Amino acid sequence: MTEVQRPLGSYPTTRLRRTRQHAWLRALVAETRLSAADLIWPLFVHEKDEAEPVGSMPGVERLPISGVVKAATEGAALGIPAIALFPVIDSQHKTADGGHALDPENLTCRAVRAIRAATGDAVGIICDVALDPYTTHGHDGLLEQGRILNDETVAVLSQQAVVLAEAGCHVVAPSDMMDGRVGGIRAALDAADRDDVSILAYAAKYASAFYGPFRDALGSHAALDTAKALGVADKKTYQMDPANTAEALREVALDLDEGADMVMVKPALPYLDIVQRVKTTFGVPTLAYQVSGEYAMIQAAAANGWLDGERAALESLVAIRRSGADAILSYFAPRVARLLAGSTP
């Protein structure tokens, strides 16, 4: 074997590998940091007394109210600032108009009150504003003759936001993509003397295949499929076309104009260009949602031994932060928070 020769001649003055040699040095020059404080933990709450696994989201469970209270407390102990609550509504409470969304005794409101009673203001409680958990057809708005009505839906969502605020949620997060809903919700909250409640707008929410497992978790999949088979509207008539960027910026501009305090891009990893454009264009608090399908892909590959799930989770979250996201909704939140704290998840 010939000896490897160090070539004579000119050597590079700058060697970028020099700062990659040691873990401490890599940490020193890291441009992006990920900490538990950047994470929001989405939680599913259901009416049952026991936790129940979500088949397409290994590691995620639908929890009873006591379970979400416990999770919120654990999350806070891990340094996770906020949770996002998603209710699994029993089918007997689902109607075409999703009226149960306005019932102050519904599952969401009871869960919010319980979390608030246990944690006060120590944990941020973020609630989705949309009708899909409550409608028989699984759509986010009111359906009439195969179409999702816009302004009528905004009127209901504005009431839903007030009901959630009264239950004690700190942040309402409209995820419905109706035009004008942020303005409607802000006006309704202010009129109800709830100017303390923030709005996190799902501003650029794309009509994405990556929401599949979430709809399993909520049980709205089957309903949506039936609706589709009947030829009624699909979510593409209100959620954004994955092909569009300029339109995302217009969505964000409108939501900010209407009073959004924070904006969100969703999904996250396939839309990092959008996150970056939103952050650099507007300079406002910009969140990204690493959605159920993004989580499921990593978990499925990891379960097959095809990739290192923990490393993939961390890498994806760092990448989302690098693109400009201030905070990330992620089902990995508790696991990653534990990893970052150096304890075994």
Binding site for ligand PBG (CB under 6 A): 128, 130, 132, 140, 175, 211, 214-215, 235, 291-292
Report whether 153 contacts 177 (CB < 8 A). no
The set of residues, in sequence order, having a beta carbon less than 8 Å from that of 275 and lying 6+ positions away, is 265, 268, 286, 288, 320, 323, 324, 325
Choose the catalytic residue: 94, 235, 266, 279. 266
Beta strand pairing call for 262-266 and 198-205 = parallel
Measured between alpha carbons, how far is 135 from 128 in angstroms, rounded to an integer?
14
Measured between alpha carbons, how far is 231 from 310 in angstroms, rounded to an integer?
41
Q: Which lies closer to ligand PBG via its Cβ, residue 97 or residue 132?
A: 132
The strand pairing partners of 43, in sequence order, are: 85
CB of 24 to ligand PBG, least distance (A): 36
Q: Which lies closer to ligand PBG via its Cβ, residue 116 or residue 266?
A: 266
CB of 8 to ligand PBG, least distance (A): 58
Q: Which amino acid is at 11?
A: Y
Q: Tell me, yes or no, if 236 is annotated catalytic.
A: no
Measured between alpha carbons, how far is 305 from 299 in angstroms, rounded to an integer?
10
Choose the catalytic residue: 205, 228, 235, 236. 205
The set of residues, in sequence order, having a beta carbon less than 8 Å from that of 252 and lying 6+ positions away, is 201, 203, 204, 263, 278, 281, 282
Structure tokens at 76: 């806070």
Q: Taking the alpha carbons of 145, 127, 319, 313 in that order, is the dihedral positive or negative? A: negative
Measured between alpha carbons, how far is 345 from 340 in angstroms, rounded to an integer?
10
Q: Which lies closer to ligand PBG via its Cβ, residue 108 or residue 292?
A: 292
CB of 175 to ligand PBG, least distance (A): 4
CB of 204 to ligand PBG, least distance (A): 13
Q: Which lies closer to ligand PBG via its Cβ, residue 41 or residue 214?
A: 214
Q: Which lies closer to ligand PBG via its Cβ, residue 175 or residue 286?
A: 175
Residue nearest to ligand PBG (CB): 214
Q: Which lies closer to ligand PBG via its Cβ, residue 36 or residue 157?
A: 157
Measured between alpha carbons, how far is 288 from 332 in angstroms, rounded to an integer?
14
Report whether 75 contacts 337 (CB < 8 A). yes
CB of 144 to ligand PBG, least distance (A): 19
Q: Where are the alpha helices (DSSP H) in the chain?
A: 23-29, 65-77, 107-119, 151-167, 181-191, 212-218, 221-229, 246-257, 272-282, 292-303, 309-322, 333-340
Q: Tell me, yes or no, if 205 is annotated catalytic.
A: yes
CB of 343 to ligand PBG, least distance (A): 26
CB of 138 to ligand PBG, least distance (A): 8
Structure tokens at 61: 């469970």
Gyration radius from the chain CA atoms? 22
Active site residues: 205, 266
